[in-house]
Structure 1
Amino acid sequence: MVKPVIFSVDDEPHVLGAIARDLQARYRADFRIVRAGSGAEALEAAGELKRRGTPVALFLVDQRMPGMSGTEFLAEAIALYPDAKRVLLTAYADTDAAIASINTIDLDYYLLKPWDPPEERLYPVLDELLGDWRANVPVGYDGIRVAGTLWSPRTHAVKDFLARGQIPYQWLDIEKDAQAAAMVDASSGDQVRLPVVFFPDGTMLADPPLPELAEKVGLRAPAQQPFYDLIVVGAGPAGLAAGVYGASEGLRTVVIEREVAGGQAGTSSRIENYLGFPNGISGADLARRAATQAKRLGAELMAAAEVTAVRVDGDYKIVTLDDGTELRCHALVLATGVKVRTLDVPGAERLQGASLYYGAAASEAAAYADKHVMVVGGANSAGQGAMFLSRYAAQVDILVRGDSLAHSMSRYLIDQIEAEPNITVRPYTRVTELIGDDHLERVKVCDVRTEGETEEPADAMFVFIGAVPCTGIVDGLVQTLDGFVLTGQDLMKEGRRPQGWTPARDPFLLETSVPGIFAAGDVRHDVMRRVASAVGEGAVAVSLVHKYLQTV
């Protein structure tokens, strides 16, 4: 397999030599180091690499070069390698240009010269960027292949599961690829069940249940022990934060997730207002980093393992998994989050997963290149989804019932949407029907002011219309309001503790009506539904778990 390239560009020979030396010392086992002394020379070399099919993982470019600045070079180089990571080397005088280029060329990072010692100022940055690149850009291809049809809900479910789990795969559309169709026919015999997932070891699975697929690709593993200090149910931002803090503070911790790590945030194509990521980060990348961090610190992470019931036996909490396994613990954190609210109009159920998608559906966006798609919803998730889809679709319409996006979306996101020529915001609009047999062809929309209906063509619809809490496993066990879990002072009525409460203290801030069961993140009643607040609650929940454990 061809090694991907790290490409360094600097017009000063001694600086270029020093960069190459440091890059070789760290990365030569996995990457080929290529260097050039000017932007023009580098563009010519990048073009030749492209013609040979050699991947470029990262450009490390000096900003101040005669003839062509680093920013100008990157603006042209990313046309050849749009997925390559981009880093500028700058002096203090160039930092304004570097910051501006975050918006103009999607710069990933800028480093101030000198970068010595590289162990502190160079390698940590590049390690993280190259890790992201590896996770999102498969090199060569000798991995998993998914063969199916575009407008198949089961095929979409498999592709979406792999994409959100950041398991690289190659998509084979058997309606367009005769060789792929022949592979499916040869492997499935007379009864073809789609999708068919082919693995590098020569095995295959036809229309696999997601737990079976998760086990095959290494996402699902059994619990390592029957008893834990802390069990966290849900691996969204709140659950992953609880896993990180629980493990780092010495608690035997397991995080159980019914799908893949990330939760609702994991479906976000881009989160731009989370502290510490000036260029934004996708929800999947944030989840991957957090999951890796939790496991490094000693937490277990069980993906594609669903908790089906929770019960209490004295001071112990017991969770039952979908395979019948029971795990016991001292303390439990509910971070089950929410699930998407579905569109309740004629045609929606029939087309779900077949051109009607909930969330950004990153696995499907490229299939609608140069098409007309609609986004339903006016919150940040809808705006992020629209921005992501605008990279592919010819036209993106955002349908909102209100008069504008201003009441429900962050200003920075509205500004980005207004600057995109292929995004149109359509206020006072609701969907009344989806029309099409096996895929979306037309949409009926209604003007909420006049109730007048129109019918218009569309190729796909991506829906972001809110969510409902995932609290079924604790129905009748903890107190809820409108399905959301009540905690802390919300449980106190006229200063009285909740019914059945036995400790000689009030419930802790994030504690439910059952002592030792805590809730964090979107599953809680009346919380700010932002990634940062969910992460904070996950961390705070662990500090309260420690307090609880001191009382039992």
Structure 2
Amino acid sequence: MPNPAILTVDDDPAVSRAVSRDLRRRYGDRYRVVRADSGDTALEALREIKLRGEQVAVLLADYRMPHMNGIEFLESAMDLFPLARRVLLTAYADTDAAIDAINLVDVDHYLLKPWNPPEEKLYPVVDSMLDAWRASPEPPASEVRVVGHRWSAPSFAVRDFLARNLVPYRWLLADEPEGGRLLTAAGLTADDVPLVLTSDGKTLAAPSETDLAVHVGLTTTPSLEFYDLVVVGAGPAGLGAAVYGASEGLRTVLVEQRATGGQAGQSSRIENYLGFPDGVSGAQLTDRARRQALRFGAELLTTREAVGLESGGTSRLLRFGDGTSIAAHTVVLATGVSYRMLDAPGLDELTGRGVFYGSASTEAPSCIEQDVYIVGGANSAGQAAVHFARYASRVHMLIRGSDLRHSMSSYLIQQIEAIDNITVWPHSEVAGAHGDGHLERLTVRDPRSGDTRDVDTSWLFIFIGAEPRTGWLDDAVLRDRLGFVLTGPDLLCEGKRPPGWTLPRDPYHLESSMPGVFAAGDVRSASVKRVASAVGEGAMAVSLIHRYLEAQ
């Protein structure tokens, strides 16, 4: 982070150079001295400093300037840096104006010209201003900043994207002072949110995920034209395949549409994963796996939507939504599954405005002392309930069955039973959502009797079922009736190999109906839906890929 700034503004070039020279001589090793020749250029410099997340300690402005005098400039500067100390440079004849400025616009001090010798007339004043500023400085903003509205779905989407990609950011509301100052500095209004400010001061108004990824340091384009292995999907299975593929010398690229980790990456705590007796959050596990894959030389591409898979002799071609493609000897399909959308009136309109699919852990601190409703009875829902119970006054779990035993691990059931502010509501489903701009009320129904009741809440998190992310494959590989990819023995029908199979061998255990294309994790038909098994299948796929490549 650069040193805090001392900004001077004076339309007289000789005076401007003199004050800047004297300030640099005394403070140049600790502060940046920024010089401007008018109020307008000074404000433009302040806006740039604001957008870069840097600090301004002291402002020195000449009183007699055309177009915008020193008092007017300091008034405007206060909107951007309210904690900066303000000094007015005046001639003796303007003393009364300077005193009025102290009383009316909160100027901290005035200095008479000339200020020679500076050791007696300039430095003591600036020293006292710097002491006062250091006592209450504005925090530097070295991380990404996001300005948005509390119940804005686009604002939530930006925050969720950054959080799931492990990009630190600071969240600021557009209707609060600092958020308003950043919008002003960027020349935007509250209608232009979400506003993203990168660590180098770049401003992005309502950015696409691809633009956002590029400007926060994520990689979106491949460095090679051809790879040994393309892994599609960066959940546990994909990360496992990338780690083992890259560590064993395969030119490996990992392609992800949104963020690493998949559903597991959204989990607040995974307690039954081998080697973590005290549990580990999905984000922590994802970060370790991602760093491990990168250390071994795998590439990670984000915001790349796969839309097609083709076979071309011994190569496999993966096509993207933007018209580009990437080729490789082999492919691992590890796209995982997504939560099913809940079909009830009002939910679509309120998604991202109080209705969320998955844990949306970024929202947990906002749920303090409020009622939270969770739909679902599997492990992901249970982990979310335990997590939100730390913030909410009460967590209500709505399940269609009579209890949790048939769908949730016993360790989680025991935890839920031991937490006083979690209530499980059996035989309950959401029949409707209501609210003006954000969720305010739910209609809950008993599916047996049809009886309904309304409950007040601003928070609904949905964890129901899973649909494989395989629609983009079309007929490239065979899938079961639910859309999961068929592999290995499941492709054989009465001992016959799948249609179009050209090799003189049966498909390998994790191999799909297209030779050289493997499936791992939740996307594979009849797989065990657990993090450990997904990682294991990712590693196993790489072992089978070596056998495939050796036979080519």
**Cα distance, 1:190 vs structure 2:** 5.8
Q: Which residue of 1 aligns with 2:401?
A: 402
Q: Distance in 2 between matches of 1:253 and 1:526?
A: 27
**Cα distance, 1:338 vs structure 2:** 1.0
Q: Which residue of 1 aligns with 2:410?
A: 411
Would the alpha carbon gap of residues 502 and 446 (structure 1) be closer, same or farther in structure 2, given more than 3 Å must change?
same
Deviations 1:307-349 (A, max 9, x none): 2221111121011223332211111110011112111100000
Q: Which residue of 2 aligns with 1:283?
A: 282
Q: Percent identity?
A: 51
Q: Which residue of 2 aligns with 1:521?
A: 521
Give, as a single letter, the amino acid of the residue that structure 2 aligns with 1:277.
Answer: F
Structure 1 residue runs of 5 or longer lacking an equivalent are: 2-138
Deviations 1:346-378 (A, max 9, x none): 000000001001111011111111111100000
Q: 8 Å contact 1:511–1:519 — kept in the other structure? A: yes
Give, as a single letter, the amino acid of the residue that structure 2 aligns with 1:369.
Answer: I
Would the alpha carbon gap of residues 460 and 497 (structure 1) be closer, same or farther in structure 2, given more than 3 Å must change?
same
Give, as a single letter, the amino acid of the residue that structure 2 aligns with 1:510.
Answer: L
Q: Which residue of 2 aligns with 1:392?
A: 391
Q: Distance in 2 between matches of 1:211 and 1:404?
A: 43
Q: Which residue of 2 aligns with 1:484?
A: 484
Structure 1 runs of 4+ aligned residues shifted over 6 Å read none
Q: 8 Å contact 1:185–1:192 — kept in the other structure? A: no
Q: Which residue of 2 aligns with 1:148?
A: 148
Q: Which residue of 2 aligns with 1:440?
A: 439
Q: Distance in 1 between matches of 2:186 and 2:298?
A: 39
Q: 8 Å contact 2:229–2:330 — kept in the other structure? A: yes
Q: Which residue of 1 aligns with 2:162?
A: 162
Give, as a single letter, the amino acid of the residue that structure 2 aligns with 1:208.
Answer: P
Q: Distance in 1 between matches of 2:485 and 2:325?
A: 23
Q: 8 Å contact 1:226–1:326 — kept in the other structure? A: no
Deviations 1:441-479 (A, max 9, x none): 111111122211111111210000022111123111100
Bigger-Rg structure (1/2): 2
Q: Distance in 2 between matches of 1:190 and 1:183?
A: 10
Would the alpha carbon gap of residues 201 and 229 (structure 1) be closer, same or farther in structure 2, given more than 3 Å must change?
same
Q: Distance in 2 between matches of 1:213 and 1:322?
A: 17
Q: 8 Å contact 1:469–1:483 — kept in the other structure? A: yes
Q: Which residue of 2 aligns with 1:331?
A: 330
Aligned residues: 414
Give, as a single letter, the amino acid of the residue that structure 2 aligns with 1:386.
Answer: A
Q: Which residue of 1 aligns with 2:181?
A: 182
1:201 and 2:167 matched: no
Q: Which residue of 2 aligns with 1:211?
A: 210
Deviations 1:90-128 (A, max 9, x none): xxxxxxxxxxxxxxxxxxxxxxxxxxxxxxxxxxxxxxx
Q: Distance in 1 between matches of 2:458 and 2:306?
A: 37
Q: Which residue of 2 aligns with 1:233?
A: 232
**Cα distance, 1:388 vs structure 2:** 0.8
Q: Distance in 2 between matches of 1:169 and 1:411?
A: 36
Q: Distance in 2 between matches of 1:535 and 1:200?
A: 34
1:248 and 2:247 matched: yes
More displaced, 325-334 or 208-217? 325-334
Q: Which residue of 2 aligns with 1:551?
A: 551
**Cα distance, 1:201 vs structure 2:** 1.7
- SS of equivalent residue, structure 1 residue 318: strand
Q: 8 Å contact 1:268–1:360 — kept in the other structure? A: yes
Give, as a single letter, the amino acid of the residue that structure 2 aligns with 1:486.
Answer: L
Task: Output the TM-score relative to the length of structure 2.
Answer: 0.73
Q: Distance in 2 between matches of 1:340 and 1:313?
A: 33
**Cα distance, 1:186 vs structure 2:** 4.0
More displaced, 462-471 or 215-224? 215-224
**Cα distance, 1:239 vs structure 2:** 0.4
Q: Distance in 2 between matches of 1:455 and 1:483?
A: 36
Q: Which residue of 2 aligns with 1:57?
A: none
Q: 8 Å contact 1:340–1:468 — kept in the other structure? A: yes
Q: Which residue of 2 aligns with 1:304?
A: 303
**Cα distance, 1:143 vs structure 2:** 1.5
Give, as a single letter, the amino acid of the residue that structure 2 aligns with 1:289.
Answer: R
Would the alpha carbon gap of residues 178 and 336 (structure 1) be closer, same or farther in structure 2, given more than 3 Å must change?
same
Q: Distance in 1 between matches of 2:440 and 2:190?
A: 29
Give, as a single letter, the amino acid of the residue that structure 2 aligns with 1:432.
Answer: A
Task: Output the TM-score relative to the length of structure 1.
Answer: 0.73
Q: Distance in 1 between matches of 2:405 and 2:354?
A: 28
Give, as a single letter, the amino acid of the residue that structure 1 aligns with 2:332.
Answer: V
- SS of equivalent residue, structure 1 residue 480: coil
Q: 8 Å contact 2:155–2:194 — kept in the other structure? A: yes
More displaced, 322-331 or 395-404? 322-331
Deviations 1:265-293 (A, max 9, x none): 11111111100011111111111110110
- SS of equivalent residue, structure 1 residue 259: coil
Q: Which residue of 2 aligns with 1:455?
A: 454
Q: Which residue of 2 aligns with 1:96?
A: none
- SS of equivalent residue, structure 1 residue 232: strand
1:173 and 2:173 matched: yes
Q: Distance in 1 between matches of 2:509 and 2:245?
A: 17
Q: 8 Å contact 1:184–1:192 — kept in the other structure? A: no
Q: Distance in 1 between matches of 2:393 and 2:141?
A: 29
Q: Which residue of 2 aligns with 1:67?
A: none
Q: Distance in 1 between matches of 2:375 and 2:547?
A: 44
Q: Distance in 2 between matches of 1:434 and 1:406?
A: 28
Q: Distance in 2 between matches of 1:437 and 1:526?
A: 43
Structure 2 residue runs of 5 or longer lacking an equivalent are: 2-138
